[in-house]
Amino acid sequence: MSIFTGLFRSRDKPQNRVGSAFSFLFGSTTSGKTVNERTAMQTTAVYACVRILAEAIAGLPLHVYRYRTDGGKERIPQHPLYSLLHDEPNSEMTSFVFRETLMSHLLLWGNAYAQVVRNGRGQVVALYPLLPNKMEVNRAVDGELLYTYYRDADESGIKPEGGYITLRRDEVLHIPGLGFDGLIGYSPIAMAKNAIGMSLATEEYGASFFANGANPGGVLEHPGVIKDIQRVKDSWNTAYQGSGNAHKVAVLEEGMKFQAIGIPPEQAQFLETRKFQIDEIARIFRVPPHMVGDLEKSSFSNIEQQSLEFVKYTLDPWVVRWEQSLQQSLILPSEKPSLFIKFNLDGLLRGDYASRMSGYATGRQNGWFSANDIRELEDMNRISAVEGGDLYLINGNMTKLADAGAFAANQSKEVSR
């Protein structure tokens, strides 16, 4: 163990950076807009992508299973973890809200944390979400990971002024996103802050454009010398600035002329830029554009295929990440060889009704589906074994190629006798 201890000691503290000089952080962007997890959520595309993925993970059935000796699996609702994951992880939250919260943290900060409360036997009795921006991950002298969490005055019931609390590895459920060291994930928002900043900038430009009466800025030209420039400017703005003053007739005195100097939105490709930023943000989260309201390249013939690809290429990697983190942190070492935690994606992978019925018919006629197998997939009640619910049937006209004609040959022998 001394070799491994020395190895752990030699490793740097887990950090959200490449090398030692360049860090990916929230902050200002080339567009001039400050981007962080909260300002990013003010962008409709980011909000839509986070909500879609968080609600998808939160809505999936989540169960605890046991391996069977015959190679199958069985659900074990009597296990203490089952009710925590399936129903309510703590007395204040449902399973849906808990998973939705952690998934939104994972998408915005790149990490999701929850405090694991255990009883004297080491079994998990409660899970409470922890904010990633208040968590710091360090290493102890022996190389073990330590989680330091800052509790402010609202969270701390012991210290009114707040303070830090250190949690061991077995006291924290940590689901990391894509990261540099495999321990700490980095934020998609921080990595793509320029794309999100541009979206915020174009949205603000559009809002200010309509706030100015849907007209670009300009200058007032006067043939002479104006004694009180500010008074003329204020008078003009009062009369004609703002969406409430749009389309009013301007009256110019003393030979003044209005000369627009702003770029109209159609010349600045304002609408095209906003639309491209929606696709850009959807690309960050790998969400199909039709799911955030962009139906330009979608049709009735390909939306179903795009939805299946969303489950396969977008949702499934997140599901595996969740399953393995839950199993690593929550299942006792003595139970790991026999228990596992799994999401059920079958409902999202269903095709249309006609396709499902055709597939069920094929499976039923060829012996790998019983009536109860099909009824469970369709969320219907089982029928009793007496009524044939568990029978596996095949067509009687199917036989091995070597036996083809054997029955007819035997019959002809019987006749000849």
384-411 pLDDT, tens digit each: 888 888 888 887 776 665 666 665 566 5
pLDDT of residue 337: 92
| Lowest-pLDDT range of 164-173, 351-360, 364-373 | 351-360
CA distance 297 to 317: 25
CA distance 339 to 73: 9
Residue 49 scores a pLDDT above 60: yes
**In this structure, is residue 371 part of a structural domain?**
yes
**In this structure, is residue 298 part of a structural domain?**
yes
What percentage of the chain's residues is helix, strand, coil (to nearest 5)?
40, 20, 40
**In this structure, is residue 105 part of a structural domain?**
yes
Q: Which tokens go with 19? A: 């090398």
**341 shares its domain with 328:** yes
**256 shares its domain with 119:** no
Q: At what angle do helices 193-211 and 44-59 cross, to 10 degrees?
A: 130
| Lowest-pLDDT range of 83-87, 99-103, 270-274, 292-296 | 270-274
**340 shares its domain with 358:** no
**205 shares its domain with 256:** no
pLDDT of residue 348: 75
**In this structure, is residue 317 part of a structural domain?**
yes
pLDDT of residue 18: 39
Q: Which tokens go with 182? A: 């495999």
Mean pLDDT of the chain: 77
Q: Which of 299, 315, 349 is the last residue of a domain?
A: 349
pLDDT of residue 212: 56
**In this structure, is residue 153 part of a structural domain?**
no
**382 shares its domain with 245:** no
**177 shares its domain with 319:** yes
Give the number of domains in the chain.
3
| Lowest-pLDDT range of 72-76, 231-235, 337-341 | 231-235
Q: Which of 300, 329, 349 is the last residue of a domain?
A: 349
Q: How far is CA 123 from CA 1, 41, 165, 331, 390, in A?
A: 27, 37, 22, 8, 36
Highest mean pLDDT among 135-149, 233-247, 353-367: 135-149
pLDDT of residue 282: 87
**In this structure, is residue 363 part of a structural domain?**
yes
**297 shares its domain with 373:** no
pLDDT of residue 197: 79
> What pLDDT digit, counting tens, does each position of 227-258 carry?
566 766 666 666 555 444 444 555 555 556 66
**In this structure, is residue 285 part of a structural domain?**
yes
The alpha carbon dihedral of 139, 142, 145, 150 has a sign of: negative
Provide the domain limits for residue 247.
Answer: 217-261
**320 shares its domain with 362:** no
**271 shares its domain with 334:** yes
| Lowest-pLDDT range of 197-201, 215-219, 356-360, 368-372 | 215-219
**256 shares its domain with 117:** no
**279 shares its domain with 399:** no
Q: Cβ neighbours of residue 180 under 8 Å, at least 6 residues apart?
A: 15, 16, 17, 18, 186
One-letter amino acid at 78 equals Q
**In this structure, is residue 150 part of a structural domain?**
no
**381 shares its domain with 282:** no
Residue 17's pLDDT band, with cuts at 50, 70 and 90, is: very low
pLDDT of residue 4: 40
Q: Which of 204, 231, 261 is the last residue of a domain?
A: 261
Burial 74-104 (b: 16+ CB within 10 A, else e): eeeeebebbebbeebbbeebebbebbbbbbb
pLDDT of residue 208: 62
